[in-house]
Copies of this chain bind each other. A is one copy, B any other.
Amino acid sequence: MPSRSIPRSPIPDPLASQPSPSFAISRLTVAEQVLAEIRRRILHGEIPEQLPLPETPFAESLGVSRVPVREALLALEHEGLLQPGPRNTLRVRPLTATDWRQITGVRLRLEPLAAELAAASPAPNAIREMRQNIAAFDAAESPEELAQLDVQFHALLCAAAQQPWLQAAWTPLRSPFEALLVRSFRAYVAATSLPESKTSTADHSRIVDAIESGNAPLAARLVSQHIQRWEEWNAA
């Protein structure tokens, strides 16, 4: 659900407990909040696959009407996290190792191109945002955070290329990729010590350096290698 502008805040929240740091009023649509919540649950694996997701009970359990829920479910279907099931139902899309491989295959075509273009003429704040992302990744601890920031880095890379259609092509891969990445990080964090799960940081830094220096071929090559490295250890 692409948020257009700022509607009113339709949630009373009589306490409004938080003093709202730096006065950042949320002004989020109910539909947007519902979308974020359901997406979070799916990404975190809290909803079993193949369970029908009827909008009526969902709306009741969330305390809102069916309309925003319907909108959110439709958006999640577009995102690739839900798929139509047998009897006119929506279900969580099962994601397997095959999906991982295919997503990687497409990313290997798109992201090196993004790196090239970004090196040629990066978007205004792209470099800074990517460095901030790397710092946040370094500070993150939970697998969910790590996955979210890792995906965000690659999204920033695509945004840096300043090519709306390249971004449009990459975007459908984003959420499913994040869902798979959450599982990877969980397995990795459980198996190894936390710092080791951050080898991405070095790769990411080198990529940003190459882009900043305008070395397009190097940037593309580094991105390609980075994606392939992940692919390898995920296969193991």
Contact = CB atoms under 8 A, between A and B. Distances in A.
12 contacts: A2-B84, A7-B88, A71-B74, A78-B78, A80-B168, A105-B113, A105-B165, A109-B110, A110-B110, A168-B172, A171-B172, A172-B172
Interface in A46-97: 71, 74-75, 77-78, 80, 84, 87-90
Interface of A: 1-2, 4-7, 71, 74-75, 77-78, 80, 84, 87-90, 99, 102-103, 105-106, 109-110, 113, 163-166, 168-173, 176
A2 B6 CA distance: 27
A5 B84 CA distance: 8
A184 to B, nearest CB: 17
Count of this chain's copies in the oligomeric assembly: 2
B166 A105 contact: yes
Instruction: Point out which of A75, A78, A87, A110 has the most chain B C-beta atoms below 10 A from its C-beta.
Output: A78
A2 B78 CA distance: 8
Given A5-B84, A106-B165, A168-B172, 6 more contacts: A2-B84, A105-B165, A106-B110, A106-B113, A109-B113, A169-B173
A168 B173 contact: yes
A1 B105 CA distance: 27
A221 to B, nearest CB: 16
A106 B167 CA distance: 10
B169 A172 contact: yes
Contacts of A7: 88
Nearest to A67: B67
Nearest to A90: B4
A170 B102 CA distance: 13
Closest 6 CB pairs of A and B: A5-B88, A168-B172, A109-B109, A169-B169, A4-B84, A102-B165
Contacts of A172: 165, 168-169, 171-172
A7 B87 CA distance: 11
Contacts of A80: 165, 168
B5 A165 contact: no
